[in-house]
Structure 1
């Protein structure tokens, strides 16, 4: 599996990276991986959704089930908020619990003032998760896209971001490219008068949570907002629980845009449980297993010369690969009982790209056997 850029991409003006204004071809910003499997019925091997397999663990299911006896009472998030704050070594006032990280994007979009001049428009760094841009546009913002160049492995170059942007949104590690940007590159985007939003939904799948800005969320110039999700590592997509880390004033401003009792009692119980020391140790072990399983997946995919990684060092629980006939390959894999995520709904990508979730070795071997049957080797 090659890592150098394919020839046709060099002719694509997007390969140069930088601002796109107007932003280029339309993309379905509301398409997500669950659409690949939602109506497929039982038996489809899911490599399209990035939730860790075999989750939630039994002990977490028991904690959630135990909370059901409290459903007659309104949710009380104080204990969960304290747990999250303690987990990150921050004051409670720096934590806002949300109904998944996706709610946080909506809150931010509503709280950010609409730019009164062209230079101040919010920037979304692509390719990345598309909900931040969708939420900003729904709230009336005129969004500018900065597309990271394919030839550089979609790595962040702070110099591509317009100096006057009042808000910048970037993922780390980034979905779908699996690039883990250095914390120093992210910090270079912080400045007075700017809100820097870093989506760290997958950072707990990185051993040691390397490059996280959570420890410095209140120490950088301007306003820094870090978003976290408990969905991916703990298998809680259906429960909807995440949180925001920022300075107290920003947290209070975002909270004013929430409805009353935005997070359910079962979700609060899960947040508190997942911040306990034993849970954090389990998450770290899971991150290390994921790294080993990802290396195995990379090695097996390297057997197919027509597949090419987006980045030589993927660090998230998924890999992004290109293939000249990706759209056809995706449908043929589906016929083999395997779902993978299309890449062309992400700004900055086109129909050559597919995202594949990291699974255990037996699952990867099943994928490889399907690729062999399809004549890729």
Structure 2
């Protein structure tokens, strides 16, 4: 079954026409990590064990954990695999959130309950929390998550949008009962590399490695990811820029009469009078946004990249007033 997602820019082009689109329907950094020339072996040879180990070490350093980890083709691959780690049982997902978690669990035979409070997750065989949450930016403290971990058989914490707020991360506590997922492509703006990580205990990581086989991540992704994850000056400068620009976007949206629902440094979600109408107004300016089937008012925007994109968005929103 095809599920509702951002990034469906082809559908926007087919419906509204035009070629010069700005895709703000995802939470992907539009000022990506600069690509450097790669060693020829990254393209011509199979990834080596040493290269894979270096990537995991870089990820552990970047994410502040010593827990065993596995590199995957995006956090999405982990979401697809985790339901198969154990026999199906009762899963509870803190909602509304990224819809692939519940969908992947249901497809694997789990009974899934989508709940709206952290307390309601207690008693589950598997609890899922996206933190910070997509799309409303809700943050659950690491202390609250650790307490929840004592009340469930196992917990998945999806930290795909946690790069700019490392204080929210539970990666250092990943283990047998807590699986922590991290994305690479969003913060580093290189989603096409398809790189993400799962951190847990050694047995769980070994099981995931068996499930994906010896080469789940390409040589170019390994070399680029290792380099980027160790580049702390870039990450710190990018966090500062994104944080400032998130406030800038909030001000532009407020001037258009939209109220902030929440968000992260990579996306903002607003309450609008009519989300579908707002999306269509932006689309006529060839700017694509994200709306949600469960809310008639919520619209999510990623942050523009560069002065030209900011000018186009500000004009489109001012014209909509």
Q: Distance in 1 between matches of 2:215 and 2:92?
A: 31
| Contact 1:29–1:130 (Cα < 8 Å) also in 2 | no
Distance apart, 1:86 and its partner CA: 4.1
Q: 1:213 aligns with which of 170, 179, 182?
A: 170
Q: 2:251 aligns with which of 288, 299, 313?
A: 299
Distance apart, 1:193 and its partner CA: 5.5
Residue 110 of structure 2 corresponds to: 141
| Contact 2:275–2:298 (Cα < 8 Å) also in 1 | yes
Distance apart, 1:335 and its partner CA: 0.9
Residue 4 of structure 1 corresponds to: none
Q: Distance in 1 between matches of 2:63 and 2:250?
A: 32
Q: Is 1:350 aligned to 2:307, yes or no? A: no
Residue 265 of structure 2 corresponds to: 316
Q: Distance in 1 between matches of 2:298 and 2:55?
A: 39
Q: Relative to structure 1, is the Cα distance of residues 337 and 48 closer, same or farther in structure 2, using a 3 angstrom cutoff? A: same
SS at match of 1:352: strand
Q: Distance in 1 between matches of 2:65 and 2:253?
A: 41
| Contact 2:42–2:223 (Cα < 8 Å) also in 1 | no
Q: Is 1:373 aligned to 2:316, yes or no? A: no
The CA RMSD over aligned residues, in Å, is 2.2
Q: Relative to structure 1, is the Cα distance of residues 200 and 333 closer, same or farther in structure 2, using a 3 angstrom cutoff? A: same
1:280-308 per-residue CA deviation (whole Å, 9 max, x = no partner) reads: 22112101111101111112221233x22
| Contact 2:65–2:171 (Cα < 8 Å) also in 1 | no
Structure-to-structure mapping, 1:223-372, within 5 angstroms: 223-276=177-230, 279-305=231-257, 307-311=258-262, 314-344=263-293, 349-359=294-304, 362=307, 363-372=309-318
Residue 54 of structure 2 corresponds to: 79
Q: Distance in 1 between matches of 2:306 and 2:195?
A: 29
Residue 161 of structure 2 corresponds to: 202
Q: Distance in 2 between matches of 1:229 and 1:39?
A: 25
1:5-52 per-residue CA deviation (whole Å, 9 max, x = no partner) reads: xxxxxxxxxxxxxxxxxxxxxxx8722211145662631122112211
| Contact 2:12–2:283 (Cα < 8 Å) also in 1 | no
| Contact 1:179–1:316 (Cα < 8 Å) also in 2 | no
Q: Is 1:131 aligned to 2:114, yes or no? A: no
Q: Distance in 2 between matches of 1:112 and 1:369?
A: 51
TM-score (norm 1): 0.77
Instruction: Give the gaps of 5 or more residues in structure 2.
Output: none
| Contact 1:125–1:169 (Cα < 8 Å) also in 2 | yes
Q: Distance in 2 between matches of 1:274 and 1:309?
A: 32
SS at match of 1:34: coil
Q: Is 1:42 aligned to 2:14, yes or no? A: no
SS at match of 2:20: coil
Q: Distance in 2 between matches of 1:144 and 1:31?
A: 19
TM-score (norm 2): 0.89
Q: Distance in 2 between matches of 1:261 and 1:204?
A: 26
Q: Distance in 2 between matches of 1:189 and 1:322?
A: 30
